[in-house]
């Protein structure tokens, strides 16, 4: 068996939008630098994702050096959004991220209008100014003081190429074989590891990527977003149909592992991955 290595790194500046794949990334306590610091929310203050609007898969956000983003989407002119000042008239507003209330800074009327027009639904665009104090990780799976950005629940998501290959082999044997093979972007990971046995990550408790150590908090339960083609926005049945048959844990359909960094550092594509526990 070859030595596992970091195959790719993925950063999503805006939750639910397309990300980009840098050769390296800074690991901060709440996730990769710049990952999911922005989000779209509805009029009730609930975070909006591809669960509600698959069209978000077609939009992208290019990061700017100061933390701002340039938004692009089909049929819309690009829009550059600067990091909003906390002293803005609106101050912070509460945002509901799957039941967790997070104080966030409104990005402004221009960004709100851009997303509202694109989604044909009244929404706002917000920024998380300080992940160190805004949102704790689920206490059932966290150590004291651990925080997270606008990610679904944990600072990083890890997947492996071998497990995707195994899943695609199972899809090929099923009723919706024409939907496969699926690319890794369906699962929107932060780090992808190659050189392991399929599903080996199920048993990991601690690992290191390069010089950075991580604690495995919990397996990742998957949702309808994984059925969304990230290039077209169209939805199918897979991989949820196959995961339900082969990868069901209690009521959750499992693919990947949620990680919490044990300390800051930098990870790079090609870094060795060591299983510490």
Averaged over successive runs of 10 residues, the pLDDT of the chain (277 residues) comes to 92 97 98 98 97 97 96 98 78 93 95 98 96 91 95 97 98 91 98 98 98 98 97 97 96 97 98 97
Sign of CA dihedral 163, 182, 36, 142: negative
Backbone angles phi, psi at 132, to 5 degrees: -65, -25
Separation between Cα atoms, residue 50 and residue 210, nearest integer Å: 32
pLDDT of residue 2: 77
pLDDT at residue number 232: 96
β-pairing verdict for 252-261 and 248-249: antiparallel
Tell me, what's the pLDDT at 90? 62
Query: Can you give the pLDDT at residue 89?
Result: 55
**Cα–Cα distance measured from residue 113 to residue 18, given in angstroms and rounded to the nearest whole number:** 20
How far apart are alpha carbons 248 and 261 in whole angstroms? 26
Instruction: Supply the CATH number for residue 71's domain.
Output: 2.40.33.20
CA 112 to chain centre: 22
Half-sphere exposure of 130 (CA within 13 A, CB side): 7
In angstroms, rounded to a whole number, what is the distance separating the alpha carbons of residues 138 and 252?
A: 17
The range of the structural domain enclosing residue 262 comes to 5-275
What pLDDT is stored for residue 36 in this prediction?
98
Instruction: Specify which residues 160 forms β-bridges with.
Output: 193
Q: Write down the pLDDT at residue 174.
A: 84
Structurally, the chain folds into a number of domains equal to 1
């Amino acid at each position: 068996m070859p030595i596992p290595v970091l195959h790719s790194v993925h950063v999503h500046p805006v939750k639910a939008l397309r990300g980009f794949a840098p050769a390296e990334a800074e690991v901060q306590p709440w996730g990769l630098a710049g990952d999911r610091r922005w989000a779209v929310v509805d009029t009730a203050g609930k975070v909006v994702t591809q669960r509600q609007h698959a069209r978000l898969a077609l939009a992208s956000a290019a990061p700017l050096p100061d933390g701002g983003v340039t938004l692009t989407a089909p049929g819309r002119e690009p829009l550059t959004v600067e990091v909003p000042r906390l002293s803005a008239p609106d101050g912070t507003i509460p945002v509901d991220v799957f039941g967790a209330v997070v104080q966030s800074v409104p990005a402004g009327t221009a960004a709100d209008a851009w997303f509202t027009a694109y989604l044909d639904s009244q929404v706002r665009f917000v920024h998380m100014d300080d992940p160190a104090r805004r949102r704790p990780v689920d206490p059932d799976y966290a150590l004291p003081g651990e925080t997270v950005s606008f990610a679904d629940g944990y600072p990083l998501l890890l997947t492996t190429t071998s497990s995707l290959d195994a899943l695609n082999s199972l899809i090929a044997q099923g009723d919706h074989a024409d939907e496969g093979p699926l690319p890794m972007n369906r699962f929107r990971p932060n780090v992808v590891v190659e050189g392991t046995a399929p599903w080996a990550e199920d048993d990991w408790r601690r690992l290191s990527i390069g010089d950075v150590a991580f604690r495995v908090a919990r397996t990742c339960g998957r949702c309808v977003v994984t059925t969304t083609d990230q290039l077209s926005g169209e939805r199918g049945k897979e991989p949820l149909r196959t995961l339900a048959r082969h990868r069901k844990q209690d009521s959750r359909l499992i693919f990947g592992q949620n990680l919490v960094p044990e300390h800051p550092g930098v990870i790079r594509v090609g870094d060795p991955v060591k299983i510490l526990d």
